[in-house]
Amino acid sequence: MIRSEILREIAPILRDHLVVCNIGLPSQELHMIDDQPTNFYMLGTMGLSSSIGLGVALAQDKTVISIDGDGSVLTNFGTLPTIANNIADNFILLIVDNGSYGSTGDQPTYAGKKTSLAAVARACGCDNVIECQDTDTGQALTDAINSKKMTIIVCKCDSGNIKVPVITKDPVVIRDRFMTAVQS
């Protein structure tokens, strides 16, 4: 499965929770598949989906799912020790690991070669790290939500993109409706 197929499959699970979605195609795909006020779309700032999501999770009690990519986690590797040492049991980091920088033309990442993000996360001290195959993502995500334990899911999948429109919503509108959803 490619990322957009996974997002389509897990959208019914995501829609009940706060979601911070990674820059570029992941946000554009989620926006097209199932736009929700509980979704915070990153329009810039590669690498910070996990940091933003952890911040939201530490500040309030609702479950927060950060959708990240292998390339973006590689950009912000410092996030993994911060996550490990600041436990928020309402936080799930879902790394869609397709071994490529999808939004920029599917250039290969090191995560698709010798580097295991799950092993790195464990080495950083993260307690609940699950590596799953694309078809098992929905189950892994449901299990993580039900466990009420901070969890990192590394979802191994195929690289590939679909045609999607860019997000034209104003960033302040995205932020305001997300904050309203947080408070509701």
When asked if residue 78 is in the footprint of other proteins (CB under 8 A), the reply is yes
Give the bridge partners for 133, in sequence order. Answer: 156
Q: Which sign does the torsion angle of CA 81, 82, 88, 90 carry?
A: negative
92 binds other proteins (CB under 8 A): no
Structure tokens at 150: 């901070």
Residue 111 C-beta: closest distance to other proteins, Å: 19
Cβ atoms of 121 and 134 closer than 8 Å:
no
Strand segments (E) across 122-181 = 129-133, 151-156
Examine residue 58 and tell whether it contacts other proteins (CB under 8 A): yes
Nearer to other proteins, 68 or 134 (CB): 68
In this chain, which of 3, 7, 28, 40 binds other proteins, going by CB under 8 A?
40
Q: Which stretch binds other proteins (CB under 8 A): 8-16, 101-109, 133-141, 167-175?
A: 167-175
**Residue 87 binds other proteins, judged by CB under 8 A:** no
Region label for 93, one of left (φ > 0), alpha (ψ between -120 and 50) or beta (otherwise): beta
| Backbone φ, ψ for residue 77 (5° rounding) | -60, -30
Using the minimum distance from each CB to other proteins, give the nearer residue, 1 or 20.
20
For binding to other proteins (CB under 8 A), which residues are involved? 20, 40, 42-45, 47-48, 50-60, 76, 78-79, 81-82, 86, 171-172, 174-175, 178-179, 182-183
